[in-house]
Structure 1
Amino acid sequence: MRIIKFALLGVLFYLPALAQAHEIKEPQRIVALAPHIVENLFAIGAGERIVGTVDYADFPQQANDIERVGGYYGINMEKLLSLKPDLVLAWKTGNKAEDLAYIEKLGIPVAYSNPNQVDNVADELRKLGTLTHLQTKANKVAKQFETKLNAIRRAQEGKPKVSVFYQLWPEPMMTVGGNTWINQLLTICHADNVFATSDTDYPRISIENVLVANPEVVIIPDEKSKKPQPKIDWRQWPELPAVQHNQFISVNADLLHRFTTRMLDGLTDMCGKIDVSRQQIQASK
């Protein structure tokens, strides 16, 4: 549950990402305070400059060897300072505000990453390129991202909508509202999120709520967790269209829940699985 919150809180609102880029000299010792920042730095060729990061920053493989300075629970300032960073890249809504304020008070340059739209990933890559003086590589990676994203969108155009329930977490049961990153991805796949009109971004719901919403497909992200996730046997409710058509999809949370170039791999996979479900549902009608 806490892992998901740490991975997704950044979609709540957007602040200008890396807004202080023009004030910072070329950094050589970077502390990156979010898994998606680490991935994107490696993607543009700046991964070797990362001297500190947070829990769950596990891609690419080299990221596992980077010193940990904290996680969703906060930042260990003593560890951070011992690394002598010349730049801290932070996640405004994924890191504690008091920690970030303290780092700034110490005079360490801080820049912020806060993508909340799918297209923002390309913007983030370019801004990281500006910060690290790797603009050429960053522009290339950003352009590749945009080209692939546009191709996915074109491939999904005109397909019939299918109603889906995204089971973000089983206990307490949570899903995603219409304002979230995941809802944007579902929309690209021409899937209608049955909880898109929820008043909150990550509503807690009940079995009864799902039965009333009547989804044709249930999507379950495979989320890393130190404790086994409880399973919900939806087949106990045969009146549910997803049960009647046997439409249950598993997706990779590490890909879909992070604001990185790999998100498109997860999106391609999810759209493809939704396509199969769509065809099977139509064939059974």
Structure 2
Amino acid sequence: MLLTSSSLAAKPQEAKNTPLPKIIALSPHIVEMLYDVGAGEQIIATTDFADYPEQAKNIPSIGNYIRLQLEKVIALQPDLIIAWKSGTPSDDLARLSQLGFKVVYSEPKTFRDIAKELRRFADLSGHSAQGQQVAEEFLKQLGDIKDRYRDKPTITAFYELWSRPLTTIARGSWPQQHLNICRAENPFKQVSSPYPQVNIEQVLKTPIQVIIQPLSVNQKDKEGFNWHDWPTIQAVSENNIITPDADALHRMTRRSLLALDKLCLDIDKARQSYLSGI
């Protein structure tokens, strides 16, 4: 059974005489991972959309992926700043480094990278033992999911990352590994851009058996592509359209395994519907 992000109670810091570092976590996924290893209470500021776990909603925001409020960072005097390398303003981070703040970077590319960063953040925050335990459990759960679907026959899937313009995924994207594990074939996998824009004519050229349309509560104005206007697509005629939670699926955290497990299960239900009709 997969563990939720809050299923492990925080364990005491190994070196009780060493003060716990005050941390600014500059990404929702960094906040989640710090809570996973028992360091959530040490976060003194974060960025917009850090909303999980529930306690994270009470952490003050000091900016977003466009701009940080440097004066607030300076006033808070953090011991450590953990930043998302490709999702935090690089010029602001350079300025903070020049001012003498300790800045470390998060840039997970794969599920295994999540385990590495859980251990790393646990070491930096003073929770090494819990970080080791969480990382080991994460890798075991990941292995179990891979084993469960390894020999499944493939099913052709279209992954809708965004609807306007219609955008999908390819190799090098974060969600492509989800499809690989769930044994879903992506007809746009070999496109050079990891997040290519496509048109409906391109989609119609491939026999799509399942459509994956992740939606996020943080994007209340987002409207998914209206696939029901295209009943000639097999996935539409068979009503095999999956709408997973984008926040859980796309954030590089331990919670993403829960989303992966659910996605593979839903894809497998679609797969079985086709196999039973043969």
2:216 aligned partner: 223
Percentage identity across aligned positions?
A: 38
Partners of 1:89 and 1:177 lie apart in 2 by 28
Q: SS at 1:261's partner residue?
A: coil
Partners of 2:179 and 2:223 lie apart in 1 by 24
Partners of 2:115 and 2:220 lie apart in 1 by 34
Q: Residue 105 of structure 1: which of 98, 107, 110 is its match?
A: 98
Q: Which has the higher contact order (CA 8 A, sep 6+)?
A: 1
Partner amino acid for 1:257?
Answer: H
Mean alpha-carbon deviation: is it higher for 224-233 or for 236-245?
Answer: 224-233
Mean alpha-carbon deviation: is it higher for 268-277 or for 232-241?
Answer: 232-241
Q: Residue 241 of structure 2: which of 242, 245, 248 is its match?
A: 248
Partners of 2:20 and 2:103 lie apart in 1 by 11
Partner amino acid for 2:247?
Answer: D
Q: SS at 1:75's partner residue?
A: coil
User: 1:89 and 2:89 equivalent?
Assistant: no
Partners of 2:152 and 2:277 lie apart in 1 by 17
Partner amino acid for 1:142?
Answer: A
Q: SS at 1:254's partner residue?
A: helix
User: 1:278 and 2:271 equivalent?
Assistant: yes
Query: Are the counterparts in 1 of residues 51 and 57 from structure 2 also a CA contact under 8 Å?
Result: yes
Partners of 1:242 and 1:227 lie apart in 2 by 25
Partners of 2:74 and 2:241 lie apart in 1 by 47
Q: SS at 1:127's partner residue?
A: helix
Partner amino acid for 2:45?
Answer: G
Partners of 2:162 and 2:50 lie apart in 1 by 21
Partners of 1:133 and 1:232 lie apart in 2 by 45
2:12 aligned partner: none
User: 1:175 and 2:159 equivalent?
Assistant: no
Query: Are the counterparts in 2 of residues 27 and 87 from structure 1 also a CA contact under 8 Å?
Result: no
Partners of 1:29 and 1:133 lie apart in 2 by 11
2:58 aligned partner: 65
Mean alpha-carbon deviation: is it higher for 219-228 or for 40-49?
Answer: 219-228
Partners of 1:128 and 1:148 lie apart in 2 by 20
Per-residue CA deviations over 1:61-85 (Å, capped at 9, x if unaligned) read 1111111011122111111112111
Q: How does 1:126-165 map to 2 (within 5 A)?
A: 126-165=119-158
Q: Residue 263 of structure 1: which of 253, 256, 261 is its match?
A: 256
> Structure 1: 5+ residue runs without aligned partners?
1-24
Aligned-residue offset at 1:92: 0.8
Q: SS at 1:32's partner residue?
A: strand
Partners of 2:160 and 2:187 lie apart in 1 by 11
Partners of 2:183 and 2:37 lie apart in 1 by 31
Higher strand share: 1
- TM-score, normalization: structure 2? 0.90
Per-residue CA deviations over 1:163-222 (Å, capped at 9, x if unaligned) read 100101111111111111100011100111121111101111111121123311100101
Per-residue CA deviations over 1:104-156 (Å, capped at 9, x if unaligned) read 01100011111101111110011111111211000000011011100001111
Partners of 2:152 and 2:255 lie apart in 1 by 24
- TM-score, normalization: structure 1? 0.88
1:29 aligned partner: 22
Query: Are the counterparts in 1 of residues 171 and 194 from structure 2 also a CA contact under 8 Å?
Result: yes
Mean alpha-carbon deviation: is it higher for 240-249 or for 220-229?
Answer: 220-229
1:17 aligned partner: none
Q: SS at 2:276's partner residue?
A: helix
Check 1:81–1:255 CA distance in 2 against 1; reply closer, same or farther (3 A cut): same
Query: Are the counterparts in 2 of residues 118 and 181 from structure 1 also a CA contact under 8 Å?
Result: no
Q: SS at 1:68's partner residue?
A: coil
Partners of 1:230 and 1:222 lie apart in 2 by 9
TM superposition outliers: structure 1 runs of 4+ over 6 Å: none
Q: SS at 2:97's partner residue?
A: helix
